[in-house]
């Protein structure tokens, strides 16, 4: 078989500035300062943000914390043999009240025998029932 012909490689050239480009750049530099001065004169409409949200989290929140618990959270606690309330208390250093929604209860009941331990944990009286305003329970699994 013969050797394939190679195309010659040309050096990459820098783009030389044209007179039009130089004029445009000068106009941008001159007019750019005028635009900055116009922006300073306009009144600023800054929305009010609460001082409690200084570092993107709300400092006005305080214990006892109500924590929404879902199916994955319960399964994770079972796999790692953690008690929900004590693990939350150790994590947040405060009193925590785990809450569970009707949707999560319906999902656990639908999942059946594989998740019977999670369902037993979810039916614990320490977990507060958190009502949801949806008409039908939203199931996360297909």
What DSSP string describes the chain?
A: -PPPPPPPPPPPPPPPPPHHHHHHHHHHHHHHHHHHHHHHHSPP-PPP--GGGTTSS-TT--SSEEEEE-HHHHHHHHHTT--HHHHHHHHHSS-EEEEEEHHHHHHHHHHGGGGHHHHHHHT-TTSEEE----SS---S--
The answer, yes or no, to whether residue 15 has pLDDT greater than 90, is no
- Among the CATH numbers 3.40.50.300, 3.40.50.1010, 3.30.200.20, 3.50.50.100, which is that of 62-130? 3.40.50.1010
Most confident option among 8-12, 31-35, 125-129 = 125-129
Give 37 or 31, the one with higher predicted confidence.
31
What are 65's strand-pairing partners? 96
Q: Could you tell me what percent of the chain has a pLDDT over 70?
A: 75
Question: Residue 107, exposed/middle/buried by CB under 10 A (0-12, 13-18, 19+)?
Answer: buried
With beta carbons less than 8 A apart as the criterion, state whether 111 and 81 touch.
no
Q: What is the pLDDT of residues 65-124, one digit of tens each?
A: 899 999 999 999 999 999 999 999 999 999 999 999 988 898 999 998 989 999 999 999
The answer, yes or no, to whether residue 142 has pLDDT greater than 60, is no
Mean pLDDT over each residue of the chain, to the nearest integer: 81
Residue spans of the domains in the chain: they are 62-130
So what's the pLDDT on residue 13? 67
Q: Could you tell me what percent of the chain has a pLDDT over 90?
A: 31
The answer, yes or no, to whether residue 1 has pLDDT greater than 70, is no
């Amino acid at each position: 078989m013969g050797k394939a012909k190679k195309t010659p490689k040309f050096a990459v050239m820098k783009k030389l500035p044209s007179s039009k480009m130089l004029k445009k750049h000068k106009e941008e530099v001159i007019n750019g300062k005028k635009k900055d001065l116009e922006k300073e004169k306009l009144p600023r409409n800054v929305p009010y943000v609460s001082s409690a949200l200084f570092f993107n989290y709300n400092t006005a929140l305080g214990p006892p914390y109500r924590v929404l618990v879902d199916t994955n959270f319960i399964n994770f606690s079972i796999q790692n043999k953690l008690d929900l309330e004590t693990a939350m208390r150790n994590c947040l250093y405060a009193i925590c009240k785990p809450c569970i929604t009707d949707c999560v209860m319906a999902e656990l009941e639908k999942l059946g025998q594989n998740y019977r331990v999670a369902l037993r944990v979810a039916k614990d009286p320490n977990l507060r029932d958190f009502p949801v305003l949806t008409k039908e329970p939203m199931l996360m699994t297909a």
